[in-house]
């Protein structure tokens, strides 16, 4: 009899659970990290990730990859007295990816331009004055990916003056790894944004994909539009925030590693859609070096990637996009 009652209770419990299923709720975590703001939005029955866990994750990344964290692994490598270091898991992944994109972009994506960034006033020390050609040529002597060696998990300098900056894809990597953190918690629907770099997974509970507004400089809010994202990342790079005026000409913070100078381009903004935020981050940086036409031609050859550009021509704001980008635009 007791056994029958127990089975009955269990069955009634299942019926009650089916009749009153747990509600999927929206959870949001916001804050400040890596010199910018972040937002994590996810849907689940219960709170599975809290702010403390996210903040600890950011600290872990910064102690590995941030040139703004004095005791970071990357700053230790950049010391002239350091000839080699053993990379932690984060730095190893990002350095490997950086070398891949160095080859893909014919050397334009180069993490060893850090001394040039500092020379031109884009480093942590800030701007003092524009360098002369002799100073640029001097620094170019110890810039170049071939001046370092990655051997298993060890990064070795060929020149003690070499130093690196991983900011070109470190934030994209951070976004992706936050996604991994949520994936490991069993979260199947989320949007993660750090400094405007975004990755999404799944659909919202109402069955809709996530909507993301594209930044469009010098336009009104009503002129902007949204893209629909599911299991995609999106990032934007531009020269409208970080730039330098040299001889009355506007130069972006993207340093040309071949000539040692900031890039002068009519492209003011590049938005890239890709499978990961790190991929999109690297690609949007490289496309800033190219003419709008060459940028679109390049991205058309990259699987699962799309791009949208804003540029000036004859004092007129113009737009250009890859063939598949229109598929993501939200249409009323």
DSSP string, 13-60: HHHHHHHSPPPPEEEEEEEEETTEEEEEEEEESS--S-HHHHHHHHHH
**Under 8 Å between Cβ of 112 and 164:** yes
DSSP designation for 329: B
- In a domain, residue 91? The reply is no
Q: Is the pTM of this model over 0.85?
A: yes
Q: Any idea what the CATH number is for the domain that residue 52 is in?
A: 3.10.520.10
**Residues near 68 by beta carbon (within 8 Å), at least 6 away in sequence:** 35, 62, 124
- In a domain, residue 304? The reply is yes
- In a domain, residue 2? The reply is no
Q: Quick one: what percent of the chain has pLDDT higher than 90?
A: 71
Structure tokens at 304: 């699962």
Q: How confident is the model at residue 190 (pLDDT cuts 50, 70, 90)?
A: very high
Q: Output the pLDDT for position 312.
A: 86
Task: Give me the domain span that covers residue 243.
Answer: 25-80+165-328
Average pLDDT, the chain: 88
Find, among 278, 194, 195, 192, the residue nearest to 229 by Cα: 192
**Residue 125: pLDDT above 70?**
yes
Overall average pLDDT of the 71-81 stretch: 97
Least trusted range by pLDDT, from 49-58, 68-77, 193-202, 209-218: 209-218
- In a domain, residue 280? The reply is yes
**Residue 289: pLDDT above 80?**
yes
Overall number of domains in the chain: 1
Q: How confident is the model at residue 266 (pLDDT cuts 50, 70, 90)?
A: confident
- In a domain, residue 282? The reply is yes
Overall average pLDDT of the 83-102 stretch: 97
The whole-angstrom separation of Cα 137 and Cα 142 is 10
Which of residues 276 and 221 earns the better pLDDT score? 276
- In a domain, residue 98? The reply is no
Residue whose pair of structure tokens reads 């127990």 in the numeric block: 6
Q: How confident is the model at residue 72 (pLDDT cuts 50, 70, 90)?
A: very high
- In a domain, residue 263? The reply is yes
- In a domain, residue 32? The reply is yes
Q: Output the pLDDT for position 7.
A: 38
């Amino acid at each position: 009899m007791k056994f029958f009652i127990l089975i009955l209770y269990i069955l009634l419990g299942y019926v009650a659970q089916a009749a009153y299923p747990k509600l999927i709720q929206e959870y949001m975590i916001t804050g400040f990290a890596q010199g910018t703001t972040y937002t994590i939005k996810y849907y689940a029955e219960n709170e599975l990730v809290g702010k403390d866990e996210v903040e600890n994750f950011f600290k872990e990344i910064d102690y590995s990859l941030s040139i703004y964290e004095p005791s970071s692994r990357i700053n230790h490598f950049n010391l002239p007295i350091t000839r080699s270091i053993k990379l932690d898991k984060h730095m190893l992944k990002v350095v490997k990816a950086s070398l891949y994109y160095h080859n893909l972009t014919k050397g334009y994506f180069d993490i060893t331009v850090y001394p040039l960034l500092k020379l031109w006033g884009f480093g942590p020390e800030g701007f003092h004055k524009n360098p002369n050609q002799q100073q640029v040529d001097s620094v170019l002597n110890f810039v170049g990916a071939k001046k370092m060696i990655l051997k298993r998990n060890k990064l070795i300098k060929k020149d003690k003056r070499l130093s690196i900056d991983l900011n070109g894809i470190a934030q994209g990597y951070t976004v992706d790894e936050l996604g991994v953190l949520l994936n490991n918690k069993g979260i199947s629907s989320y949007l993660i944004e750090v400094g405007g770099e975004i990755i999404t997974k799944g659909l919202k509970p109402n069955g809709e994909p996530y909507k993301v507004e594209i930044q469009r400089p010098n336009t009104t809010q009503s002129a902007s539009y949204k893209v629909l994202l599911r299991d995609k990342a999106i990032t934007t790079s531009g020269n409208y925030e970080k730039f330098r005026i040299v001889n009355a000409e506007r130069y972006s913070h993207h340093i040309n590693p071949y000539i040692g100078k900031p890039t002068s381009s009519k492209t003011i903004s590049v938005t890239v859609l890709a499978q990961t935020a790190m991929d999109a981050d690297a690609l949007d940086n490289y496309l800033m070096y190219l003419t709008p036409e060459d940028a679109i031609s390049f991205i058309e050859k990259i699987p699962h990637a799309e791009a949208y550009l804003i540029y000036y021509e004859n004092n007129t704001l113009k737009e250009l996009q890859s063939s598949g980008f229109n598929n993501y635009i939200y249409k009323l």
